Each structure stands twice: as C-alpha cells, then as structure tokens.
Structure 1
Amino acid sequence: MLRLIWIASIHIRQFMRRYMPTNILLNAIRTRRGLRWGFPAMLLALPYLYVASLCTALIDNGGPGWLYLIALVCVWNALKFVWIGPVSVGLLVRTRAAESRDAHASRPQRSSASA
C-alpha cells in the first residue's frame, strides 16, 4: 500500500511539474538565464492573493464552499512565487561566484621570475 502511494505521488509530481503553468514558470526561473527574473516574479504573488481574497469574500457573502479550494490553490501559488525571489537571488550569487572562480582558474598564471 505504501509503495502504491509513493508511486502515485511521484507520477502526480511529474504531471504537475510538466503541465501546470506556475510550475513551468518556476522551472524556467531556475535556469541560468532565468535566475535574474526570480525577484520580479515575486510580484506575480499579488494577483494570486487578490483572487484568494475575492474568493473568501464571495464565500463570506453566501457563495459556494468549493471556492475555498480555489482560494487554497491561489495562496499556494502565491507562496511559491514569494519563495522563488530569495531562492533565485541566492542561486544567482552562487552561480556567478562559480563562474568567476572558473574564469579565474582558466587564466594563465604569470610567473614573478620573468622580470
């Protein structure tokens, strides 16, 4: 039973990473070219939070309870976008440091004896 749950969760995760728009965008941000867009992508959390607040306001005014599911998904996506900002800045700093280290290591060494 545990193996079945484990395999199902693996397949669900693969499906979500491949086909869900927010996950596609987050995967693009995690690439070397996309790291610089991580901090501006944090702004995408605002529309998600707005939609979540609209859904909860509708529910409070007598709307259907299934709107809680939409509000939950919107809050989850907003948290993903808020989280990618600091993570992408850290990854960008680490990547640039590694590139600088590699560039410095590939330069030919000058000998101090040739004067």
Structure 2
Amino acid sequence: MLTLIWHLSSFANDLLQRYAPTNRLIWFLRRRENLRYGVPAMLLSIPYLLIARGALALIEVGAPEWLYLVFILCIWNAIKFLVWGPVSLLYLAKARFREAKRVSASRTRQPSQDQRTG
C-alpha cells in the first residue's frame, strides 16, 4: 500500500512539475539569463491574492465549498512568487560571483604581453 501511495504521489509531483503553468514559469525564470526577472515576477502574486480573496468572498456568501481549493491554490502560487523574488536575487548574486571568479582566473592564467613577445 505504501508503495502505491509513493508511486501515485511521485506521478502527481512529476505531472505538476511538468505541466502546471506557475511551475513552468518558475523553471523558466531559474535560467541564468532570466534571473533578473525574479523580482518583477513577484508582482504576479497580486492577481493570485485577489483571486483568493474573491473565492473567499464567494464562499462567505454561500458559494460551493470546493472554492476552498481555488483559494488554497491561489495562496500557494502567490507564496511561490513572493518567495521567488528574493531567492532569484541570491541565485543572481551567486552566478555573478562565479562569473567574476572565472574572469579573474582567466586573467591570471594569460601570460602578459612582455612574456609573449620575448
């Protein structure tokens, strides 16, 4: 039974990581050339929070309770984008540090002009 649950949860995780739009966007933003868009991507949490508030308001006036799933999904996606902003800055700083380290290492390995001509 535990094996079945494990495989089903693994399948669900794989399915969501591949096809859920927010996960695809986060993976797109994780590329080195797109890390600079991490902080503006935090603004995507605003519509999710508004949709979550709307779903909660509908539930309060008597709408079906399955809207709690919409509420939870929107809150989760808003949190993902809010957290991604600072995390992307850390990834960007790490990438720039590595690039600067490579550039300085390549400068020290190259022989100077006097050694090449002599």
TM-score (norm 1): 0.91
Per the TM alignment, residue 40 of structure 1 is displaced from its structure 2 partner at its CA by: 0.4
In the alignment, residue 78 of structure 1 is paired with which amino acid?
Answer: A
Gaps of 5+ in 2: 113-118
- The answer to whether structure 1 residue 58 and structure 2 residue 62 are counterparts is no
Structure 1 counterpart of 2:28 = 28
| Alignment partner, residue 75 of structure 1 | 75
Poorly superposed stretches of 4+, deviation over 4 Å:
none
- Residue 109 of structure 1 and its aligned partner are, at CA, apart by 5.5
For 1:103 and 1:9, locate their aligned partners in 2 and report how far apart those are by CA, in whole Å: 44
The verdict on how the C-alpha distance between 1:103 and 1:61 changes in structure 2, with shifts beyond 3 A counting, is same
Matched with 2:116 is none
> Residue by residue, what CA displacement relative to the aligned partner does 1:35-62 show, whole Å, maximum 9, x if unpaired?
1111000000000000000010011111
Unaligned 5+ segments in structure 1 are 111-115
- Kindly, what percent of the aligned residue pairs are identical? 46
Using structure 2 for the length normalisation, give the TM-score. Answer: 0.88
Please state which structure has a larger fraction of its residues in helix: 2
